[in-house]
């Protein structure tokens, strides 16, 4: 018997949800039904356009980040499946304002391939693109020599926010590529799950855990992590996520970070706030300045329980772009 979720036919969930989503934000976004993409409701003035996308099930990513100061369009695939090159190409065309299009792609084989084909199709039509490949997941660092490399996870929010701000100010396509690559290079993420997620229509989660276990180093598609570890107090779990990131980014006294504490789907605000408290305690002890924090469920894995921590080594320029105005369904300041 399928797990109870608020769906009709699971095959219709994504298109039905997109319709309901767009209807809630008519001032911000417009939803194209076929091929499916979401684009800003208002597109005025010349600027480089930002287009992202990927499988659904990670909401509010990416459709929730379409709007002033962030994305120009987002392309949702089926749950945990890449959008097609045809969809992506249509979104590129809808977003383009004649200054070129920056593609922000999380590092997954299907997404990389389809965005690449779409970029080639767009080039044939005279639209210039550049691609920022986001690969921040430290759990997959160094795995599989010659394999796909690190996965892209919650740092994509920082790439979209920071490049989005720069694009509004008239940054060129090449400048935005360099900026996006700098953010990606300066950010790492680690995640853990207390319980896995269930695909709509399925009768059980994608993996099971014993009462005293957590899954360490999970991605955002319900796949297994890199290790099974003992469950423990949030203080300990946050330490396990944070220390490897601090080490990799070589963060120390006097350094500054933008921190993202991200819920994976079913993690309560109280828990995420507690995670943020533990994270800042660790960084305070190290003398690392937490310049800005984003705490909430922004890059989800359906109804997975757990969280990710992303640290982005920050400087005045990145913080200033982070602070710039943004007005999207999921992020506004």
Alpha carbons 174 and 262: distance in angstroms, whole number? 30
- Catalytic-role residue among 31, 58, 62, 276: 58
Instruction: Looking at residues 62 to 81 of the shown chain, list those that interact with its own copies (rule: CB under 8 A).
Output: 64, 79
Of the candidates 221, 224, 268, 276, the residue annotated as catalytic is: 221
At 246, which helix (H) or strand (E)?
A: helix 234-248
| Residue 35: C-alpha distances to residues 27, 38, 74, 79, 83 (Å) | 21, 10, 12, 16, 10
- Asked whether position 295 contacts its own copies by CB under 8 A, the answer is yes
For the question of residue 58 being annotated catalytic, the response is yes
Which range of residues in 58-66, 100-108, 127-135, 219-227 is near its own copies by CB under 8 A?
Answer: 58-66
* 109 near its own copies (CB under 8 A): no
3-state secondary structure of 37: strand
Stretch that binds its own copies, among 95-103, 158-166, 169-177, 275-283 (CB under 8 A): 275-283
Based on CB atoms, which residue is closest to its own copies, 13 or 176? 13
- Provide CB contacts within 8 A for 198, sequence distance 6+: 3, 5, 204, 205, 206, 302, 303
Cα angle 312, 269, 215 (rounded to 5 degrees) comes to: 65
Nearer to its own copies, 113 or 273 (CB): 273
Two tokens at 46? Answer: 């010349």
Burial label for 1, CB within 10 Å (0-12, 13-18, 19+), is exposed
Contacting its own copies (CB under 8 A), which of 21, 37, 115, 216?
Answer: 21
Taking the least distance from each CB to its own copies, the nearer of 109 and 293 is: 293
Instruction: Tell which one of 54, 57, 83, 225 touches its own copies (CB under 8 A).
Output: 57
CA dihedral of residues 305, 311, 317, 320 (deg, nearest 10): 40
**Cβ closer to its own copies: 168 or 278?**
278
Q: Which of 276, 288, 299, 312 binds its own copies (CB under 8 A)?
A: 276
Round the CA-based radius of gyration of the chain to a whole number and report it. 19
Q: Does 325 engage in binding with its own copies (CB under 8 A)?
A: no
258 beta partners: 292, 312
- Footprint on this chain of its own copies (rule: CB under 8 A): 1, 4-9, 13-14, 16-21, 23-24, 56-57, 59-60, 64, 79, 194-195, 200, 209, 211-212, 214, 231, 233-235, 237, 261, 265-278, 280, 290, 293-295, 300, 302-303, 305-307, 327, 332-333
Residues assigned a catalytic role: 58, 221
């Amino acid at each position: 018997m399928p797990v109870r979720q608020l769906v009709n036919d699971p095959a219709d969930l994504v298109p039905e949800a997109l319709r309901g989503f767009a209807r809630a934000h008519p001032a911000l976004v417009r939803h194209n039904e076929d091929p499916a993409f979401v684009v800003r409701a208002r597109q005025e003035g010349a600027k480089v356009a930002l287009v992202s996308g990927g499988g659904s099930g990670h909401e509010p990513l990416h459709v929730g980040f379409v709007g002033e100061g962030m994305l120009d369009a987002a392309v949702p695939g089926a749950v945990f499946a890449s959008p097609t090159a045809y969809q992506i190409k249509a979104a590129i065309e809808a977003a383009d304002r004649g200054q070129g299009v920056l593609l922000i792609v999380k590092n997954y084989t299907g997404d990389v391939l389809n965005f690449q084909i779409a970029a080639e199709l767009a080039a044939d039509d005279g639209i210039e693109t550049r691609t920022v490949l986001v690969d921040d997941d430290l759990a997959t660092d160094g795995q599989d020599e010659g394999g796909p490399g690190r996965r892209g996870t919650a740092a994509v929010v920082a790439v979209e926010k920071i490049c989005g701000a720069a694009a509004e100010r008239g940054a060129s396509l090449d400048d935005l590529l360099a900026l996006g690559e700098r953010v990606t290079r300066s950010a790492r993420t680690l995640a853990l799950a207390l319980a896995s997620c269930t695909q709509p229509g399925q009768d059980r989660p994608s993996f099971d855990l014993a009462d005293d276990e957590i899954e360490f180093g999970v991605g955002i598609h319900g796949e297994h992590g890199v290790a099974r570890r003992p469950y423990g107090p949030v203080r300990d779990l946050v330490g396990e996520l944070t220390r490897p990131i601090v080490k990799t980014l070589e963060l120390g006294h006097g350094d500054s970070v933008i921190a993202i504490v991200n819920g994976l789907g079913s993690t309560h605000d109280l828990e995420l706030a507690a995670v943020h408290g533990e994270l800042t305690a660790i960084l305070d002890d190290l003398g690392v300045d937490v310049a800005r924090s984003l705490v909430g469920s922004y890059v989800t894995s359906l109804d997975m329980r757990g969280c990710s921590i992303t640290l982005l080594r920050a400087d005045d320029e990145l913080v200033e772009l982070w602070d710039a105005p943004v007005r999207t369904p999921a992020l506004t300041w």
